[in-house]
Amino acid sequence: MPVKVLFRGIPAVALAVTAFAFPAFAADTNAPNQNETKEQRDARMAWWREAKFGMFIHWGVYSISAGRYGDQEIPGLSEWIMHDGKIPLAEYAEFPKRFNPTKFNAEAWVKIAKDAGQKYIVITAKHHDGFAMFQSKVSDYNICDATPFQRDPLKELAAACEKEGIKLGFYYSQAQDWGHPGGAARDGHWDPAQDGDFDAYLDKIAVPQVQELLSNYGPSVPAVLWFDTPENMTPERAAKFFPLLKTRPELIVNNRLGGGFKGDTETPEGFIPPNGFPGRDWETCMTMNHSWGYCQRDTDWKSTADLIRNLVEIASEGGNYLLNVGPTREGLMPEACVERLKQVGAWMKINGESIYGTTAGPFPNLSWGRATRKGQELFLHVQTWPSNGLLRVPLANKISAAVLLTQPDKQLEVRNEGNVTLVSLPATAPDAVGSVVRLDFEGEPIVPTTPG
């Protein structure tokens, strides 16, 4: 089938930047959690701050095409294929008829996340193509009514997550919807079947579907609601969602609803902000390759070492890491992802205490690695092993204990020299990617501006 390719080569980061190029509106006093105290907020965010590491899942009928349409490769993100290939709605609506991911096993997916050390999952309930990956009474353009599969994966995931103690969140594309009349499309509609009134679309599709997502999966699912690309959203339009969000006081909502709604979390996409977002909770979302949805040609996977170092860098700046997997049309996670997640999990098994529940480290920079903090413990992530066996830590506090997490029963020799704490390390690093030293220190960290 010939397809006109109109991809404009928008990388993920650029998409993120353009997505937020909206004027800032005054905070709406009707917005959820406006009057929350710091204590209430800390309690609401507690599990998320402890979790640090989550799995993002982009799964939809775009995994059928996996980056190809007819005999053409469609450049760009595989989940944008309908947009970038300018595929008419009636043609795209043929995809669901071929979507039968019989190998999908919610328990297996949750186990992959759990074994990786991930504490929460956020899955695409509806992406920009407008196809709902859940049972929806609002529109029959959904996985239960429009595919031979006829199962609701969100329901199965909710049950599996509950069993394993993993939190489940839903991604919902509230503004862009290329499958329902009136839904927004970046750069405009390409098929007259998409034309319609945006407010009517919000009232008839987006708001009621969010209500379904907030009502049909039990009292604690979704734990997170992850909006995206707020095209055309205004404060009035964002406010249509507020009464619903307020029905779930424990819900965590990201900052992409639009209309000036700040939400609970900043969401840098594909990059790590050098100093985090002081005073704000934040989460870097990132794919393991380039696409978010499954894309057959996209095999440029980040290495396990990169994934671990990203996680460490993010934690050292006080953020969470939401790492994406794009499962296949059969319902399987790509082997390359599973393998890497397993290896990250092996590292987390030993070093997890240096990540979970930590806050940013106290050092502006360290020549040999990164640091995280949990109360009176500092975790030194040594990525460049000192050739003389002495780790120089710009810290003047009294140290009561120092151990390598690989050998927690063996105390390391520590001494203070001026402003610097010197830790004696073994000749070789126990872990080539990142070995962690835990320092138990007294008082508040004293970090000299000019290390001695």
Cis omega (within 30 of 0) for bond into 222: yes
Question: Are the beta carbons of 282 and 320 closer than 8 angstroms?
Answer: yes
Helix, strand or coil for residue 176? strand
Rounded CA separation 261/234 (Å): 9
Q: How far is the CB of 13 from ligand FHN (least distance, A)?
A: 9
Q: Output b/e per residue, 109-146; b: 16+ Cβ within 10 A.
A: bbebbbbbbbbbbbbbbbbbbbbbbbbbebbebbbbeb
Q: Applying CB under 6 A, which part among 73-81, 140-148, 332-340, 434-442 lies near ligand FHN?
A: 73-81
The bridge status of strand 68-69 relative to strand 369-374 is: unpaired
Out of 65, 139, 229, 372, point to the residue binding ligand FHN (CB under 6 A). Answer: 229
Which residue number is nearest to ligand FHN in terms of Cβ? 15
Q: How far is the CB of 26 from ligand FHN (least distance, A)?
A: 25
The bridge status of strand 320-325 relative to strand 53-57 is: parallel
Q: Which is nearer to ligand FHN, 77 or 168 (CB)?
A: 77
Q: Which is nearer to ligand FHN, 32 or 230 (CB)?
A: 230
Question: Are the beta carbons of 59 and 293 closer than 8 angstroms?
Answer: yes
Q: Which of residues 79-138 bind ligand FHN (CB under 6 A)?
A: 79-80
Which helix (H) or strand (E) segment holds residue 64: the answer is helix 62-65
Q: What is the secondary structure of 316-334 as a DSSP string?
A: HTT-EEEEEE---TTS---
DSSP state of 205: I
> Does 77 sit near ligand FHN (CB under 6 A)?
yes
Q: Which is nearer to ligand FHN, 77 or 154 (CB)?
A: 77
> Does 431 sit near ligand FHN (CB under 6 A)?
no
Rounded CA separation 57/51 (Å): 17
> Does 146 sit near ligand FHN (CB under 6 A)?
no
Give the x-and-dash track for 371-410 against ligand FHN (CB under 6 A). Answer: ----------------------------------------
Out of 84, 212, 231, 269, point to the residue binding ligand FHN (CB under 6 A). Answer: 269
Out of 16, 51, 55, 223, point to the residue binding ligand FHN (CB under 6 A). Answer: 16
Q: Which residues pair with 253 in a beta bridge?
A: 225
Q: Which is nearer to ligand FHN, 223 or 378 (CB)?
A: 223
Q: Which of residues 276-335 bind ligand FHN (CB under 6 A)?
A: 285, 292
Q: How far is the CB of 178 from ligand FHN (least distance, A)?
A: 12
Q: Which is nearer to ligand FHN, 213 or 423 (CB)?
A: 213
Sheet holding 420-424, edge to edge: 390-393, 420-424, 414-417
Q: Applying CB under 6 A, which part among 75-83, 93-101, 206-214, 393-401 lies near ligand FHN?
A: 75-83
Q: Which residues pair with 142 in a beta bridge?
A: 132
Q: Tokens at residue 390, please?
A: 């002495």
> Does 15 sit near ligand FHN (CB under 6 A)?
yes
Instruction: From 397, 387, 407, 400, select the one nearest 446 (Cα to Cα).
Output: 397
Question: Are the beta carbons of 413 and 424 closer than 8 angstroms?
Answer: yes
Count of chain residues binding ligand FHN (CB under 6 A): 12
Q: How far is the CB of 54 from ligand FHN (least distance, A)?
A: 13
Out of 129, 152, 212, 228, point to the residue binding ligand FHN (CB under 6 A). Answer: 228
Q: Which is nearer to ligand FHN, 123 or 332 (CB)?
A: 123
Q: Applying CB under 6 A, which part among 29-37, 77-85, 430-438, 441-449 lies near ligand FHN?
A: 77-85
Residues of this chain that interact with ligand FHN (CB under 6 A) are: 15-16, 19, 58, 77, 79-80, 228-229, 269, 285, 292
